[in-house]
Amino acid sequence: MFISNAYAQSGPFGGGSDLMSFLPIILMFVVLYFLMIRPQMKRQKEQKSMMEALAKNDEVVTAGGVLGKVTKVTDAYVTLEVANGTEIVVQKVAVTMLLPKGTIKAI
């Protein structure tokens, strides 16, 4: 008797469409794609092309920080000369950077 009925009212944005309610989420995914996913895919593509282009006498840096000159390249492994007469075998994926020629002078 003393309490009146309360009816739901529309929000401050009105009774907008479903697309407008999902627009912030869609916008967030678009920004995420351009800021994170796209640059990562570009970096992976550059890394893959660098590994495929490895050749004898290239100077490289491995993931562990080892500097060496490539002496042999196979499908999955690379043989590096790290000192005169000292060679190590590493996986191709461990090669992170290709150095300019003449960077390593001690070998």
Q: In this predicted structure, what is the pLDDT of residue 16? A: 58
Instruction: Please tell me the predicted confidence (pLDDT) of residue 14.
Output: 56
Spell out where the chain has E strands: 59-62, 67-73, 77-83, 86-91, 95-99
> What pLDDT score does 22 carry?
86
Q: What is the CA 19 to chain-centroid distance, rounded? A: 32
Residue count of the chain, please give it. 107
Q: Pick 55-99's CATH classification: 1.10.3470, 2.30.30, 1.10.760, 3.30.230.
A: 2.30.30
The Cα 50–Cα 58 span in angstroms is 11
Task: Walk along the chain (107 residues) in steps of 10 and give the mean pLDDT of each run.
Answer: 73 65 90 94 92 92 94 94 94 92 77
Q: Which residue has the tokens 């309360």?
A: 6
Q: N- to C-terminal Cα distance for the chain?
A: 97
pLDDT at 37: 93
Domain residue extents for the chain? 16-53, 55-99
The pLDDT of residue 19: 75
